[in-house]
Amino acid sequence: MKTAFRTLFLFAAISAFTFTACQKGPEGPQGPAGQSAPVYYSEWFSPAAWSGGSGEWFFAASAPDLTEDIVERGVILAYVWLAGDIYGATTVRPLPAYAVGANWDFLIHQYGSIEFETDMFAPPVTAHKFRFIAIPGTIPALKSGSPGYRSKEELKSMSYKEVCKLYNIPE
């Protein structure tokens, strides 16, 4: 009988403490559904001119969304659409890639800028189009154990269309 009384008393005490300790404050603004930071993406752009020389062509583009935090803790995906690609006008390739007789890649040589490069021998045409998507490390899909979790490797192996669909990015 004493044990039942103690259990009942303990339950009542814990319940009273729980309900009186919680106070409701003012309601904050509605946050974005499922994301704690936006996914950034550039428009498609083409270089005005390529720099470098045979086997080492490059151009840099301003990318203010590529902050230190995103570069160091997030994922940056880059894509190219190549004029004259054998797979046609709708082919978007993730970088790095080999196409049109050359390797294509990108690098972040400083925060706020992205550089695209190729090892073509002849100067590349300026009709090629490039785009990047920057996914902050605070996005739940990048956090292990979160619903919809994707590792950096999984994101990098996804097609352009799959990434756009996952993050509601217009193609």
* 1 domain-assigned: no
Identity of residue 23? Q
* 97 domain-assigned: yes
| Parent domain of 101 | 40-166
Model pLDDT for residues 3-46, shown as the tens digit of each residue:
444 443 434 444 443 333 333 334 433 334 444 468 999 999 99
Q: Would you call 16 helix, strand, or coil by DSSP?
A: helix
* 111 domain-assigned: yes
* 158 domain-assigned: yes
* 45 domain-assigned: yes
* 156 domain-assigned: yes
Q: How much is the pLDDT for 89?
A: 66
pTM over the 0.75 mark: no
Query: Rounded to whole angstroms, how far apart are CA atoms 20 and 165?
Result: 45
Burial of 18 (0-12, 13-18, 19+ CB in 10 A): exposed
Model pLDDT for residues 126-157, shown as the tens digit of each residue:
889 999 999 988 766 565 555 566 778 888 88
Residues 30, 75 contacting (CB under 8 angstroms): no
* 83 domain-assigned: yes
* 88 domain-assigned: yes
User: Per the structure, how many domains does the chain have?
Assistant: 1
Q: Which residue has the higher pLDDT, 25 or 67?
A: 67
